[in-house]
Amino acid sequence: MKIVDAKVIVTSPGRNFVTLKITTDDGLTGVGDATLNGRELAVASYLTEHVCPLLIGRDASRIEDTWQFLYRGAYWRRGPVTMTAIAAVDVALWDIKGKSAGLPVYQLLGGRSRDRVMVYGHAQGSTIEETVADVGRFLARGYQAVRAQTAVPGVSGTYGISSEPDRYEPASAGLPEASLWSTQSYLNHVPDLFDAIRDTHGYDFQLLHDVHHRLSPIEAAGLGKAIEPYRLFCLEDPTPAEDQTAFRLIRQHTTTPIATGEVFNSIMDCQQLITERLIDYIRTTVVHAGGITHLRRILSLAELYGVRSGAHGATDLSPVCLAAAVHVDTAIPNFGIQEYMPHTDATNEVFPHGHRFHDGYLYPSEEPGLGVDIDEEAAATYPYQRAYLPVARLHDGSVHDW
């Protein structure tokens, strides 16, 4: 089973997606997501110029060997661009292996550990009252878990707040939008949100919140401690994730569970946090952490230390990534939660898929392979549009973590 074609498809059905499609000599095709929000063409070029020529003629069944070849063989290791490119190849090869075996990918990973995959939805509002009401709408639709974000007074463009219901799409066409940040306003405001949510809706569902890397270690420790009574499922990215020892300080002060890792791309980024038990949920994804092959290693390490999965699942991760994520989530023993934001109709048209959402849970496709495809004709009608994530600044004009 030799690879005869590997091509990169860039499409923008409302937002940019990069997809790798691999074809074998026996006519099988596999797809892999290669989308890196705001830096899409770097991965497209890495694949087209440097990876696709290496794939032609290779045995498509050798997934592990191809991973090692692309990772160790490049000499230059890690980094979001490299690891997203490797992930796209890896996932496309798992798709092909599933199709050639006639099995959905979760069966190749050991079969079901669970019947369904718990997800969390995204409640938001421009006031605490609006966010509380939005949480109620998710609960009424059967969600077991809800992330709650609310606009902070005086902070224009607060992370997590959008005019569209159900989804939050921070990238915008053109040059980066400026957003403002005030740690003081945030810390004064956000505990009241959890108080109001628990007061209105009670404790019989999982509540999450994303700090989005904004706090210092001691500020995060203080927030975690202050909100312990509201029993969050997890507090996400309390501090910039790459500063690993910050989590030691947070851990010394609070029992609020901590999630991090959506920006990680290697098991090396996760090693200290997992082995020192500094986090509870690891948010690495299929697309940004080296594909199914590498993510499985991270999750196996996590299992040893009682850390569970909590995969990133924003709309900038394409339905190809989500399909793969649901297969992994279905198979692993230490699943925690899956982030889920519905894609737009245009995105679903470009990426027809068999995984489905029902009553707060995701179910994997039962088709051989991943159960997702790219409609190339539809994709071609949505040309690439340059877009960036916002950049945050403090009141004094200096740059802060967005």
Residue 316 contact, options ligand EZ4, Co ion, none, Cβ 5-8 Å cut-off depending on partner type: ligand EZ4
In the complex, least distance from residue 162 CB atom to ligand EZ4, rounded to whole angstroms: 10
Residue 387 contact, options ligand EZ4, Co ion, none, Cβ 5-8 Å cut-off depending on partner type: none
Q: Per-residue contact track with Co ion, 231 to 270, x per CB under 5 A?
A: -------------------------------x--------
In the complex, least distance from residue 91 CB atom to ligand EZ4, rounded to whole angstroms: 18
The structure tokens 């697309």 sit at: 287
Active-site positions?
Answer: 159, 212
* Under rule CB under 5 A, residue 40 binds Co ion: no
The residue with its CB nearest to ligand EZ4 is: 314
| Helical residues (DSSP H) of 305-397, grouped into ranges | 319-331, 345-350, 376-380
Report the residue number, 12 or 149, with the smaller CB distance to Co ion: 149
The structure tokens 């938001």 sit at: 124
Report the residue number, 95 or 210, with the smaller CB distance to ligand EZ4: 210
Report the residue number, 178 or 380, with the smaller CB distance to ligand EZ4: 178
Residues that bind ligand EZ4 (CB under 6 A): 37, 168, 170, 210, 212, 262, 312, 314, 316, 339, 389
Q: What is the token pair recorded at 56? A: 């032609």
Q: In 3D, which of 112, 14, 98, 111 has the Cα closest to residue 373?
A: 98
d(Cα 369, Cα 327) in Å, to the nearest integer?
10
In the complex, least distance from residue 72 CB atom to ligand EZ4, rounded to whole angstroms: 28
Q: Which of 134, 210, 219, 329 binds Co ion (CB under 5 A)?
A: 210
**b/e per residue, 355-374, with b = 16+ CB within 10 A?**
bebeebbbebbebbbbbbbb
Q: Per-residue contact track with Co ion, 117 to 156, x per CB under 5 A?
A: ----------------------------------------
Phi, psi for residue 381 in degrees, rounded to 5: -80, -5
In the complex, least distance from residue 184 CB atom to Co ion, rounded to whole angstroms: 22
* Under rule CB under 5 A, residue 316 binds Co ion: no
Question: Is 221 exposed, middle or buried (CB count within 10 Å of its CB: 0-12, 13-18, 19+)?
Answer: buried
**b/e per residue, 332-347, with b = 16+ CB within 10 A?**
bebbbbbbbbebeebb
Q: Are 48 and 19 in contact (CB under 8 A)?
A: no
d(Cα 322, Cα 339) in Å, to the nearest integer?
10
* Under rule CB under 5 A, residue 33 binds Co ion: no
Report the residue number, 107 or 284, with the smaller CB distance to Co ion: 284
Give me the residues that bind Co ion (CB under 5 A), please.
210, 262
